[in-house]
Chain A
Amino acid sequence: MLMENKIMGIGLRIAQIMIDELKLEDVTAETFNPDIDLVDEVGIDSMDLATVALVIRDEYGIRIDEDDYPKLITIRLIAEYIGGKLDEKSELIDD
């Protein structure tokens, strides 16, 4: 449950970054469907994703590899990816 909340929190933040950076209209972070296909249904391209990845890098201190872009086609998948990277990071610090 905690984990799910964490991913949801990240998802909301990612949705807001997308809205701000890509100037998306008629949607809020809360109404942004986390499972909508960003490529097919929102029309996001690799340049858009690279822009979002840079803002995520600033905010969370993690890197999204270019090779991973094709996997990140929904807000939920991006949030899970970031959650995983943050966990890896905290494990490294703990070690």
Chain B
Amino acid sequence: MMNLTLLILIPLLTAVLILLAKGLQQIRVIGLAGAVAQLGLAVWLLKSFLAARGAGNNATYLFESNQTWFKALNINYHIGIDGIALAMILLTSVIVVAGILVSWTMDKLSKEYFFLLVLLSMGAYGFFISLDLFTLFFFLEVAVIPKFLLIGIWGSGDKTKSAMKLALMLMAGSALVMVGLFGVYYNTHTFDIVQITQQGIPAGVQKFFFPFAFLGFGVFAALFPFHTWVPDGHASAPTAASMFLAGISMKLGGYGCLRIAALMPDAAHTYSWIIILLATIAIIYGAFATMMQTDLKYINAYSSISHCGFVILGIGMLNKTSMNGAVIQMVSHGLMTALFFAAIGMIYSRTHTRMVAQLGGLLKAMPFISTVFVIAGLCSLGLPGFSGFVAEMTVFMGSWQNPDGAYRLATILSGASIVVTAVYILRATGRAIMGPISAEHALLSDATWNEKLAAILLIAGILVIGLAPFLINHLIMPSTDAIILQMGKVNILK
């Protein structure tokens, strides 16, 4: 039997040890050891999860544990995971290892830096294992402050403004979530996701509180029109923080949206067209806005808005395939965007510029980094063989299943955005990686061992999903099926 609390305890222990450590060398070794241990734990968790499923354990949530926290208010520390949560945990642990590896030479206030990174990851783990809305909300907010400090202290450019903007918008998002959760609590007298799913929420209550909770999480997932924190936040953040932000933090939003839709199926069906409308706008707007960017980080940040739109689109379509696609897209985008930010960080630390126009011919000086950059780009534009293709394809197939004309139009428009993606990715790659190289850039060195390791880890993840999509499908399909089935049931009862 697994104890999921370990997933919180390991980061906590790592954070405490980092505080006690002396010197960069000790700090980063402890950080890496903690992250690797966590990755190992996540893999072991996957193994025991699949073993339990193989043995015929069909419970929705495995490794459940339920402890009373605030007895008088019926708040419990209830944890457990299904396939979706496990996929997210795996994603998080991979990105944390990669993030710590790329921060290997961070010498400015390194203790605080690694401490905050670990704290941020702890919030994410706690969020994904929560089966109680209160704990879920608790961990959601735990992850906000580290982001603010990471961007504000170690960032670049107009960092304090970006940090402030990000923190305030995310706080506003969580305030909306809080209102939604209170509404649920007062009509079901519990925060427990499992119990709420069983007893259902009155349709009127759902319709009133769903927008709060869904849009609240939507802010985290960069849903249009609450996406404005994304470009500035990502561009100003230090490399590892950008990776965490796009790879983990935005997934908190997507995952939250999915859970809220599952909890309030009536409202999800009612508002489905609004969700899809917003998602389509995000996809197209994000793609076109990316075309106009000249800074590599801004390019990736705006394309993240577009890509996260696919997650919301998949959730909004409310069928098995699209839901599956949404989850795969979350994992795929997490890996891909982290890889992209890592590559951009490596380029920036050498050339000290992120402007596409000032770069060129990097392939000659740094073949490894350039290759990583190209792989990330190809994955982003959805080339078959990489995870991006699998994810977006699944979302499109799922959304096409919806026979409604307007929904099909949304699908077509979203699909068309891939062409735009190809334009900006190929253009940026062509300018920065190919072509003649400037004299000063020609002398620059290629990736160091830690950067290589981080990139290889992320690329491995992308390739596994891209070449063997059945693996991740095997993991998440039963869970998305269960969610759709449950949503349907409540619908029929009504």
Chain B binds chain A: no
Which residues in A have some Cβ–Cβ distance to B below 8 Å?
none
Which residues in B have some Cβ–Cβ distance to A below 8 Å?
none
